[in-house]
Structure 1
Amino acid sequence: MTFPFTSTTLVKDIVNKLPKASDVFKKNRIDFCCGGNIPLSKAVSQNGLNMDNLLEELKIVFEKYEHVEKDVEVWTESDSNTIIDHIISNYHRTSKEELTMLSPYVTKVSRVHGDNHLELLKVYELFYELKKELIEHMEKEEAIVFPLIRKFTDGTIENKEEAINLVTELEKEHDHAGEILRQIRSVTSDFTLPLDACGTYRLVYARLEALESLTFMHVHLENNILFPRYIA
């Protein structure tokens, strides 16, 4: 199969067709979830990258995975109810659990090492801001927005404008969560560990980076696959 992407392909469309491209974008600090609705050329320009090099990276991934069954995170052909159930089961539940479990470790590391590594104090602040925002966001989705989308899908919705406004509001919340994650990555210098990092320090950075990936795929599913069906 011919390599299908060019400089004019939208970033979100590349991830929709080739899920593993998200790893390439993450490495190159290209936002594919909240900021994915731009052509690859613009993402390259914004991040000071080389287009030929990036296309070569994507081509390597494409050639490796083009014959592999599509990643479970990509649901472009699934109905909305199936996507919603998948998001709740595989992203909401997992995110809530991880945010809860990671909290004491973030607190401990900032308390023990914050005097010598001031960035950890900022990480603490940003993490708890992210935790509050994501939990409130997911609760809103499950209690209000997802039920409206289900009604939208089966044709029983009474106020379409209300649903569209709520979906638009969720996208703005995604943008803010993405900005918090970008700040965490920036203040930690891409999760670079200092020489004196203890086991808990290492654990926190590893799990923060994993949480970032989880959140990005969560947002990608909603922003680039589910929501456009209702706010196009």
Structure 2
Amino acid sequence: MKDYQSMTVGEIVADNFDNAAIFDKYGIDFCCHGSDSLPEASRKAGANMDEVIKDIESKTSGTPESIDFKSWPIDLLVDYILKIHHRNIRSHGPEILKLLEKVCNVHGEHHPELFEVRELFQSSLYDLGNHLDKEELVLFPYIYDMFKTQEEHKQLPDFHCGSVEAPISVMMAEHDAEGERYRHIDMLTHGYSTPKDACNSYRLVLEKLKAFEAALHQHIHLENNIVFPRAIQLEEKLRG
């Protein structure tokens, strides 16, 4: 059995992404605060660490292994993030916002919190758009360059940001901001639960918002806990 008490929550989810659902159950933030140890994260969430470990071990022994992202080469991880997560945000985000505006028009009078949810989500899409652009135009091309340099045993080209840690620190700060924003949305919607007078569109938009947040959590987790640390290690190796 693994010594989960000595692992960070990010490492535990990187080991098996199915553990993300267990952490969500206990309110443990594994993406933006993935560097927290399990004891520290459990304390912050007010969760019983022994119960958390029991659930992890039970799930691990009773279900097949999920995708082992940490075994993937870094260029494949970036490909996955671009083609799955970036596309998801750009395609599904505007659709959700349009549906949310419709629900605000119908239910906003009796559920004024919907207007704040809409403003938060609209701001998120704007900020995420800028965030994705920076990853696609600055950070990820350099990661691809580093991977190619390693594969072809060439000299690492100069990077206009100096070190990969510079854009990574910006990306992680923006991840933290999004994590806080969606915690606020979760609070406003009472965990994405629908009121008794909710129509089908109301239920649907909360389901879509919840799925969008879950996908964003995986996006942040893959970057914060797998891609970014490996990019830093790769740069250090290539620079000697």
Q: Could you tell me the TM-score, scaled by structure 1's length?
A: 0.92
1:38-68 deviations in Å (ceiling 9; x for gaps): 1111111111111222111112211123xx2
* Paired residues for 1:62-141 under 5 Å: 62-65=60-63, 68-71=64-67, 74-141=68-135
Q: Would you say the 8 A contact 1:7–1:39 is kept in 2? A: yes
The residue type equivalent to 1:115 in the other structure is E
Q: Would you say the 8 A contact 1:145–1:166 is kept in 2? A: yes
Q: Would you say the 8 A contact 2:12–2:19 is kept in 1? A: yes
1:56-82 deviations in Å (ceiling 9; x for gaps): 1112211123xx2441xx421222111
Q: Which residue among 17, 20, 31 is the counterpart of 2:18? A: 20
The farther-off stretch of 43-52 and 151-160 is 151-160
Q: Would you say the 8 A contact 2:8–2:37 is kept in 1? A: yes
1:195-217 deviations in Å (ceiling 9; x for gaps): 00110100011000000110000
Q: Would you say the 8 A contact 1:5–1:14 is kept in 2? A: no
Q: Would you say the 8 A contact 2:13–2:19 is kept in 1? A: yes
1:56-114 deviations in Å (ceiling 9; x for gaps): 1112211123xx2441xx42122211111111111111221110211111111122211
Separation of aligned partners in 2, 1:157 and 1:21: 38
**1:53 lines up with 2:51 in the alignment:** yes
Separation of aligned partners in 2, 1:59 and 1:44: 16
Separation of aligned partners in 2, 1:44 and 1:225: 21
Query: Which runs of 5 or more structure 1 residues have no equivalent in the other structure?
Result: none
The farther-off stretch of 14-23 and 55-64 is 55-64
Partner residue in 2 for 1:29: 27
Identity %: 32
**1:10 lines up with 2:8 in the alignment:** yes
Query: Which runs of 5 or more structure 2 residues have no equivalent in the other structure?
Result: 150-155, 234-240
Q: Would you say the 8 A contact 2:7–2:37 is kept in 1? A: yes
Partner residue in 2 for 1:157: 157
Partner secondary structure for residue 6 of structure 2: coil
Q: Would you say the 8 A contact 1:16–1:76 is kept in 2? A: yes
Separation of aligned partners in 2, 1:59 and 1:69: 12
- Which stretches of structure 1, 4 residues or more, deviate above 3 A after TM superposition? none
Partner secondary structure for residue 69 of structure 2: coil
1:93-148 deviations in Å (ceiling 9; x for gaps): 12211102111111111222111112111111111011111121112211221101
Separation of aligned partners in 2, 1:138 and 1:194: 34
Partner secondary structure for residue 227 of structure 1: helix
Q: Would you say the 8 A contact 1:91–1:214 is kept in 2? A: yes
Separation of aligned partners in 1, 2:110 and 2:71: 50
Q: Could you tell me the TM-score, scaled by structure 2's length?
A: 0.89
Separation of aligned partners in 2, 1:33 and 1:52: 21
The residue type equivalent to 1:6 in the other structure is Y
Separation of aligned partners in 2, 1:28 and 1:186: 15
